[in-house]
Amino acid sequence: MTTTAEATDPRVPDSDPQPLLAVRGLVVQAADGVRVIDGVDLTVPRGGTVGLVGESGSGKSVTSSAIIGLLPAGLTATDGSIRMNGTDLRTADERTRRAMRGKQIAMIFQDPLAALNPRIPVGRQIAEILRVRDGRPRAEAHSTAVELMRRVEIPDPERRAGDYPHQLSGGQRQRVMIALALAGEPALLLCDEPTTALDVTVQARVLELLARLQRQDGLAMLLVSHDLRVVSHVARDLVVMYSGRVAESGPTADLLRHPRHPYTVALVRNIPSPRERTPLPEPLPGTPPDPAARPSGCAFHPRCPLARERCRVEVPQPRESGTGRRSACHFFEELPDAS
Amino acid sequence: MPPEALLQLDGIQAGYGSAGYGSASYGFRRRAAQPVVRDVDLSVAPGEIRAVVGESGSGKSTLARVIVGLLAPDHGTVRFDGADLPFRRSRAQRRAIQMVFQDPRSSLNPRMSVASIIDEAWRTHPSTRPADTALGLTGLLDSVGLDAAVAGRRVGELSGGQAQRVSIARAVAVGPRLLVCDEAVSALDVSVQTQILALLLRLREDLDLSILFITHDLGVVRQIADRVSVMHEGRIVEQARTDEVFEHPRDPYTKTLLGAVLDLAVAQQPASARPTPEPQP
């Protein structure tokens, strides 16, 4: 870890010598040796919001599971580092990791119904965390729980605290999940597909809440989603993953306006816009690859319009492609917008 | 209602209490529940892509079940190609309307080979079986963008996009005139979604198909539908040409829905980067 006091440029996430979360060269392997995650770099600055996007098999969810230390059975983080406030979570013992979880890093999931206990009122579920972990007295824990529910904008929180999860709407349940996550006063909130299961009208309000928590409380967030539209509205920086590697990263608006990886170009072009009807884009051939059958060289080369011999044989290393931006494409300079 | 409509629904009401295959009432006493679909009039013109858009619980999937004949309506009539379409349908009537579901891995048997899934469709509707089955199968797979080598593989081994191509192949194998797609591209990766949308557009031309496209994704609706019906709490609150609905929505719910839909935030700043409106303490 470098301790040089460099000038930190908010536009350049890597300019902070000790960011909140710094994932470097992360490798996650399956029992059979398959590198599900093959060298991922990712930085969440203090108070920053980073969107981690990718399609199926991109490794975005495995990356977030590795960060919180809940990798599915059979997967192991075998190389690289996951530094949270300077502590490497990959090599830390279970006690250190458990102390981090909830307190430093909290997580919300796609399906709150599966994450909440159906037989306990939601207020008590939040209060339980405060009592068990912080040893707060029952009454105080309860009032803090109600306060948390108010913070996530659940109407009439005193009464709602007594409701069971099934009595709440999908949007309210996701708000309860966010309140649960906030109970530990974490510095970083991992959101795995936070609005995917919600209706459009509800989705917009939950995103607004997340954006407000970030603005007002300086809560840092890592938003993991397949939906670039959702992420683009909340995240200041984006990390685009493809087949267990980072294809491209950088500030959201700049990256979407001038993608410097052919995969990002295709992603942006293929999102159907509700604003105007346009001819369907030329579809990319094929499907996102399974990590076990990752193509040689650049994993995107079989689907890439720019691909040539070098792409088949040489894995492209991420290199600077603009202010605060990196692209893992040998030939991003040839993309039309890359001026 | 134009007389040339291929499918015409008038005053359809249906719901949990309705009779049907696999309906909630099966084996239970019929409940006097609130109907899920109320007073729905809807038509699909020949060759048209008609979208039905709504949020969860709006009744759009229940409506699809009535149209394909899985659920009997409590009230109202379904007409197809100028004739009444009863709940108990003839083989030819069933053949004419085929359905594609959201998740091919649960709507198709994952342990069956692609060839046997198609063969089953041809066994159900023998008149549609090509003279040379092997050749017909290759041609069919080719028409949905699948390699002939896929025929021997099980659905469970295929990717989501390939499996959805198989369910489209199964549907068009029997020569339908109307394809009902219920969230048929919603579970697919965007790079694959475009492939399937392009396929549906091409099949419409090649096979002279009409498509009823049920979805919650307004972006997809804008890109492919000729006309759109907006459903809310079981009713169609607005229906018109797609551009008309998106540019001049009349119903308050449609306005809410269109106001909430997210486009890629390219033009504007991300919400978190906007100046803070609240005063700082």
Q: Is B3 helix (H, G, I), strand (E, B) or coil?
A: coil
DSSP B163: H
Contact assignment for B191 to A284 by CB distance below 8 Å: yes
Instruction: List the alpha helices (DSSP H) in B71-189.
Output: 91-96, 104-107, 114-124, 133-143, 160-173
Query: To the nearest whole number, what is the mean pLDDT of chain A?
Result: 91
Nearest Cα residue to A233 out of B108, B25, B261: B261
The predicted-structure confidence for B191-240, as pLDDT tens digits, reads as follows 899 999 999 999 999 999 999 999 999 999 999 999 999 999 999 999 99
The interface pTM score, or ipTM, of the predicted complex is 0.84
CA distance to partner chain A, nearest, from residue B51 (Å) = 13
CA distance to partner chain B, nearest, from residue A41 (Å) = 23
How far is the C-alpha of A191 from the C-alpha of A226, rounded, in Å?
12
Q: At what angle do helices A138-151 and A122-134 cross, to 10 degrees?
A: 120
Q: Is it the case that residue A197 has pLDDT exceeding 90? A: no
How far is the C-alpha of B16 from the C-alpha of B72, rounded, in Å?
11
Cα–Cα separations (whole angstroms), residue A15 to A189, A248, A250: 22, 18, 13
Residues on chain B touching A288 (C-beta within 8 angstroms): 189, 191-192
Q: Which of A256-260, A287-291, B9-13 has the lowest mean pLDDT?
A: A287-291
Does residue A245 contact residue A300 with C-beta atoms inside 8 Å?
Answer: no
How far is the C-alpha of B199 from the C-alpha of B196, rounded, in Å?
5
What is the per-residue pLDDT for A137? 93
The predicted-structure confidence for A21-52, as pLDDT tens digits, reads as follows 999 999 999 999 999 999 999 999 999 999 99
How sure is the predictor about B116, in pLDDT bands with cuts at 50, 70 and 90?
A: very high
Does residue A125 contact residue A113 with C-beta atoms inside 8 Å?
Answer: no
- Taking only residues 46 to 85 of chain A, the set having a beta carbon closer than 8 angstroms to any beta carbon of chain B reads 49, 55-56
Nearest Cα residue to A41 out of A88, A82, A97: A82
How far is the C-alpha of A152 from the C-alpha of A122, rounded, in Å?
13
Q: What is this structure's pTM? A: 0.87
Contact assignment for B266 to A216 by CB distance below 8 Å: no
Tokens representing A231 are: 């992420």
